[in-house]
Amino acid sequence: MRTIECDVVVVGAGPAGSMTAKWAALGGADVMMIEKRPEIGSPIRCGEGISRSWLDRVGITVDPKWVARKVKGAKIVSPSRKYHVMLDESKAGNEVGFVVDRVFFDKALARDAAVAGARIMLKTAATSLIMEDGKIAGVRAVSHGEPVEIRAGCVVGADGFESQVGRWAGIDTSLKPTDIITCYQYRMTNIDYDPDFTEFLLGSIAPGGYAWIFPKDENTANVGLGVLLTRLKKPGEVKEYLDRWIANDPRLKNGQPLEAVSGAVSVCAPLDSVTMDNLLLVGDAARMINPITGGGIANSCYAGMFAGKVLAKAAKAKDFSQSMLQEYEDDWRAKMENGLWRDWMAKEKLITLPDETLEMLVEAVSKVDLERITVQTLLAAVKETYPELVKEFEDLI
Amino acid sequence: MKVSAERCHHCGACVGSCPQNAIFMNDFILDFGEACNKCGRCIKVCPVGAITREE
Ligand SMILES: Cc1cc2nc3c(=O)[nH]c(=O)nc-3n(C[C@H](O)[C@H](O)[C@H](O)COP(=O)(O)OP(=O)(O)OC[C@H]3O[C@@H](n4cnc5c(N)ncnc54)[C@H](O)[C@@H]3O)c2cc1C
């Protein structure tokens, strides 16, 4: 059987994998990144909305090739569609921003990893861990139909929502039904809408989740929705929710699909540990998605950078023990753990609110002129109009 | 469990949601392993209704 040796094997070439590979390779580690699909970035499983503030903090240079559309802000729409809150750049800081093309974005990140020195294998699916004397020593994979052993000091699980790597190693990444949002989306063209704003529609249009319109061009957008698993009553209902909305929304009803995207996101609290001897998890595999927005690209890239930097040090020291990898655990937690907890608790509350309450919330916030919109200022604004509503959120402020 | 190849988008929603880690997807092939206890969560999570119980 073919055997490949390296310091670090990264399983999955999404944003988390490519960022890990890049930063580890930049620091001198010998990196092999494997991807089971024949093309990086395709087919997409994403709404493609990101904010722009974080990109330079993780060393990503904006390239017009992957920016589909710059937006002026976001609209959060009440269940009746009567009220909306506008988050424009002046108010949301740099939190609103781009709708990207993941097909190009993911390739650009993989290119950066390759330029930094990482090797890439496509059509190569990890199938199990290599264990030696009770230690993780790499992964077994099937590459273009042939078995291959990739021996490495550290295995990186960057294998996304469907992650297996962590579970093979005994890290419990399983999700509760209330922490899973299941989604369907069309890239839809011939729609008549405002292409300068991303739109988030709340309420029973998408129970426990939301519906979105993320602009790609003047008459094309990613139109999708996600529903909380526990709110589904029959198989295939998510697609039905989406088709029903589109049929009933005058802006969308003449739209035609260019691409159909299916997928799920985790909306859970942060995991207890994503590192062990000779293995770590990054991105969706480490359940780092924001539980309120369902967005995971930014956190995946941050985690990838933190992991890659620590892996480079570990490769130099020839030590991939958990204590060596703890620095990665500390770094990602410092950056996002509190936020993930706070947003998860807010989500647990939000999913219980009926349309009438969501309507009141959006109405209340739409009527105040906020200098700067953050979760805190939003809650403070709601408190003025509906103090009883905020009671249960109080400890989040 | 039975997967309809005509409906399946290979999105991995079922794989990541399976409490038993019994589903494996090698690019385009979905396999249900022995660990499957027929709990049915995959049927529910599938956005397009591609999974059914084997009769
Ligand atoms: C419908 C939908 C809409 C979304 N919208 C947004 C949004 O608007 N904004 C946002 O920020 N986030 C969004 N997300 C979340 C976002 O897509 C993820 O957070 C992001 O892709 C995570 O990156 P990742 O690198 O961790 O995983 P992924 O991008 O999922 O990459 C994992 C890679 O690993 C590969 N892989 C898996 N198993 C193996 C294996 N055994 N061997 C080899 N390779 C393997 C996969 O093929 C894949 O290429 C959305 C998700 C969904 C489902």
Q: What is the CATH number of domain B2-52?
A: 3.30.70.20
**Is A265 in contact with A226 (CB distance < 8 Å)?**
yes
Per-residue pLDDT tens digits for A228-277: 999 999 999 999 999 999 999 999 999 999 999 999 999 999 999 999 99
Query: Which residue's alpha carbon is nearest to atom 45 within ligand 1?
Result: A12
Tokens 């409490």, residue located: B19
Q: How confident is the model at residue B44 (pLDDT cuts 50, 70, 90)?
A: very high
Q: Which of A100, A35, A41, A39 is nearest to A70 (CA)?
A: A100
- Spell out the long-range contacts of A88-92 with Cβ–Cβ below 8 A and sequence spacing 24 or more: A91/A370, A91/A371, A91/A372, A91/A373, A92/A372, A92/A373
CB A22 within 8 A of CB A308: yes
Q: Which residues of A touch B50 (CB under 8 A)?
A: 236
Model pTM?
A: 0.96
pLDDT score recorded for residue A195: 97
Query: CA-to-CA distance for A214 and A75, rounded, in angstroms?
Result: 11
| A43: preceding bond cis by omega (within 30 degrees) | yes
**What percent of chain B has a predicted confidence (pLDDT) above 70?**
98
Task: Indicate the CATH number of A2-61+101-175+271-341 among 3.50.50.60, 3.10.150.10, 3.40.390.10, 3.90.420.10.
Answer: 3.50.50.60
Q: Where are the domains of chain A?
A: 2-61+101-175+271-341, 70-98+176-266, 348-396
Instruction: Tell me the C-alpha distance between A232 and A194, whole Å.
Output: 30
For residue A45, give the nearest of B11, B21, B25 by CB distance.
Answer: B11
Report the gap between the CA of B55 and the closest CA in chain A (Å).
16
- Regarding the beta carbon of A166 and ligand 1, being less than 6 Å apart is answered no
User: Distance between CA atoms of A270 and A326, rounded to whole angstroms?
Assistant: 16
Closest-CA residue, ligand 1 atom 19, reads A296
pLDDT digits (tens, 9 = 90+) for A311-365: 999 999 999 999 999 999 999 999 999 999 999 999 999 999 999 999 999 998 8
pLDDT class for B54, splitting at 50, 70, 90?
confident
Cα of A17 from ligand 1 centre, angstroms: 10
* CATH classification code of A70-98+176-266: 3.30.9.10
The predicted model gives A297-319 an average pLDDT of 98
Nearest 10 degrees: CA dihedral of A61, A47, A52, A79?
Answer: 170
Sign of CA dihedral A232, A238, A240, A246: positive
* Distance, CA of A382 to CA of A57 (rounded, Å): 33
C-alpha of residue A109 to centroid of ligand 1, in Å: 13
Domain ranges of chain B: 2-52
If pLDDT is split at 50, 70 and 90, which confidence band does B30 have? confident
- The dihedral through the CA atoms of A92, A59, A40, A292 has a sign that is negative
> Could you tell me how far CA A36 lies from the centroid of its own chain?
19
ipTM of the prediction: 0.95
The predicted-structure confidence for A149-169, as pLDDT tens digits, reads as follows: 999 999 999 999 999 999 999
Q: Is A159 in the pocket of ligand 1 (CB under 6 A)?
A: yes
Q: In this structure, which residue's CA is closest to atom 39 in ligand 1?
A: A159
Are A235 and B19 within 8 A, CB to CB? Answer: no
**Token duo for residue A235:** 């198989």
